[in-house]
Homo-oligomer: A and B are copies of this chain.
Amino acid sequence: MPSLYAVIPAGGSGTRLWPLSRAAHPKFLHQLTGTPRSLLQATRDRLVPLSGPDRIFVVTGVAHAAAVARQLPEVPESNILVEPSPRDSCAAIGLAAAIIAERDPTGIMGSFAADHLIPDVEPFVAVVREAMEVAAEGYLTTVGITPTHPETGYGYLRCGASLSIGSAKQVEEFKEKPTLDVARSYLESGRYLWNAGMFVWRVDVFLAELERQQPDLHAGLLKIAAAWHTPSREEVLHREWPSLPRISVDYAVMEGAAAVGRVATVPGTFRWNDVGDFHTVGMTLPADDEGNVVVGDTEAQVLLRDTRDTVVVPRSGRLLATLGVRDLVVVDTPDALLVCARERAQEVKHFVDALKETGDTAYV
Chain A residues at the B interface, C-beta cutoff of 8 Å: 19, 301, 303, 305-306, 316, 318-325, 328, 330, 332-341, 343-344, 347-348, 350-351, 354, 360, 363
Interface pair B301/A324, CB less than 8 Å apart: no
Please judge, given known A-B contacts A337-B337, A360-B301, whether A347 and B321 are in contact too, CB under 8 Å: no
Contacting residues, chain B, for A330 (C-beta < 8 A): 337, 339
Contacting residues, chain B, for A322 (C-beta < 8 A): 338-340
- Complex alpha-carbon distance, A316 and B319, angstroms: 13
Interface pair A319/B336, CB less than 8 Å apart: yes
Contacting residues, chain B, for A334 (C-beta < 8 A): 318
A139 to chain B, nearest CB (A): 44
Besides A319-B335, A325-B340, A339-B339, 9 other CB < 8 A contacts? Answer: A19-B319, A318-B334, A321-B351, A322-B340, A323-B340, A324-B340, A324-B343, A324-B344, A330-B337
Determine which of B316, B318, B339, B341 lies in contact with A321 in the assembled complex, contact meaning CB atoms within 8 Å. Answer: B339
- Complex alpha-carbon distance, A301 and B336, angstroms: 9
Q: List 22 A-B contacts (CB under 8 A).
A: A19-B319, A303-B354, A305-B347, A305-B351, A306-B344, A319-B335, A319-B336, A319-B337, A319-B363, A320-B336, A320-B339, A321-B336, A321-B337, A323-B339, A323-B340, A323-B347, A324-B341, A325-B339, A325-B341, A330-B337, A330-B339, A339-B339
Determine which of B306, B316, B323, B338 lies in contact with A338 in the assembled complex, contact meaning CB atoms within 8 Å. Answer: B323
- Complex alpha-carbon distance, A271 and B19, angstroms: 39
Q: Chain copies in the assembly?
A: 2
Interface pair A347/B324, CB less than 8 Å apart: yes
Interface pair A351/B318, CB less than 8 Å apart: no
- Complex alpha-carbon distance, A321 and B15, angstroms: 14
> Which of A303, A316, A350: most chain B Cβ within 10 A?
A303
Contacting residues, chain B, for A321 (C-beta < 8 A): 19, 336-340, 351
Interface pair A335/B360, CB less than 8 Å apart: no
Interface pair B335/A318, CB less than 8 Å apart: yes
- Complex alpha-carbon distance, A344 and B322, angstroms: 10
- Complex alpha-carbon distance, A343 and B301, angstroms: 24
A321 to chain B, nearest CB (A): 5
- Complex alpha-carbon distance, A171 and B333, angstroms: 54
> Which of A306, A319, A334: most chain B Cβ within 10 A?
A319
- Complex alpha-carbon distance, A340 and B320, angstroms: 11
A362 to chain B, nearest CB (A): 9
- Complex alpha-carbon distance, A221 and B11, angstroms: 73
Contacting residues, chain B, for A19 (C-beta < 8 A): 319, 321
